[in-house]
Amino acid sequence: MSKANGRKAIFITGAASGMGLETARLFAEKGWFVGGVDVNEAGLDALRTELGADNCLVSRLDVTDREAYRATLAAFAEATGGKLDLLFNNAGIGRGGPFADMAWEDAMAVININLVAVLSGIHLAIPLLKATPGSLCFSTSSSSAIFGIANIAVYSATKHAVKGFTEALSVELKAAGVRVADTLPGMIDTPILPDEAKANAPTEGMWRLTPPREVAEAVWAAYHTDKIHWYVPTELEAYDLVVTQHPEMVRDQMAQSGMFNASNG
């Protein structure tokens, strides 16, 4: 008998804090077996203690290390009897500043973690997803994939790519019975969001500071439906429609307001 003992299984990258941590907690509450990886070993130790060693399999993983990722997924599959009901590609970093002034090494780190590692992890996990009826491949995109945000241009570019990749893969994997979806969070109260941005966030509206538990709840809801894009908060969906129709207006409003000077969701 596998360690998961027949339970549904979720594998979460970036599980030691923020949205990944809250998702691990929520799914564990629902009786799922949780796989969690991160580079934050102290956070992983705390997660293991909180959930109980019988209910999870957590380990340190640099998601940019493809062979380590392959081995970690193999260990998870052994613990679940080859099942992967939900892959949550959540690990990400936020490094910003004006693109002209950004260190190239920082730009490449954002690309490698926020995009390349997502592609790599999904590519490695597809056999497990295909082998699990009703599985879902879910990724963290961003509200900055609605309209690119100044001073986090590379971050925005990776999140646009994740959103587009999600849409394309949702078509490719549909015949195999694998659903593909993403979340586009706004200003989420997580460590990736700078303190200045948290302090300046409005108290209401689509750019209000939102607890990461709301993203976890979107992941849970996504598993039970066929919707592709999950906006947190939900008002961002209407904003996406406005951007599609009036991108120049949005550009000019952002340039005038100076609101977006730091990373958002």
Catalytic choice (155, 223, 231, 239)? 155
> What's the per-residue H, E or C state across the chain?
CCCCCCCCEEEEECCCCHHHHHHHHHHHHCCCEEEEEECCHHHHHHHHHHHCHHHEEEEECCCCCHHHHHHHHHHHHHHHCCCCCEEEECCCCCCCCCHHHCCHHHHHHHHHHHHHHHHHHHHHHHHHHHCCCCCEEEEECCHHHCCCCCCCHHHHHHHHHHHHHHHHHHHHCHHHCCEEEEEEECCECCCCCCHHHHHHCCCCCCCCCECCHHHHHHHHHHHCCCCCEEEECCCHHHHHHHHHHCHHHHHHHHHHHCCCCCCCC
Fold of the CATH domain 9-257? Rossmann fold (3.40.50)
pLDDT above 60 for 198:
yes
Domain boundaries, the chain: 9-257
Averaged pLDDT score across all residues of the chain: 94
The band of 263, judged by pLDDT with boundaries at 50, 70 and 90, is very low
Q: Full-prediction pTM beyond 0.95?
A: no
Average pLDDT over residues 110-139: 98
The band of 195, judged by pLDDT with boundaries at 50, 70 and 90, is confident
Task: Confirm whether 155 is a catalytic residue.
Answer: yes
pLDDT of residue 91: 98
pLDDT of residue 262: 42
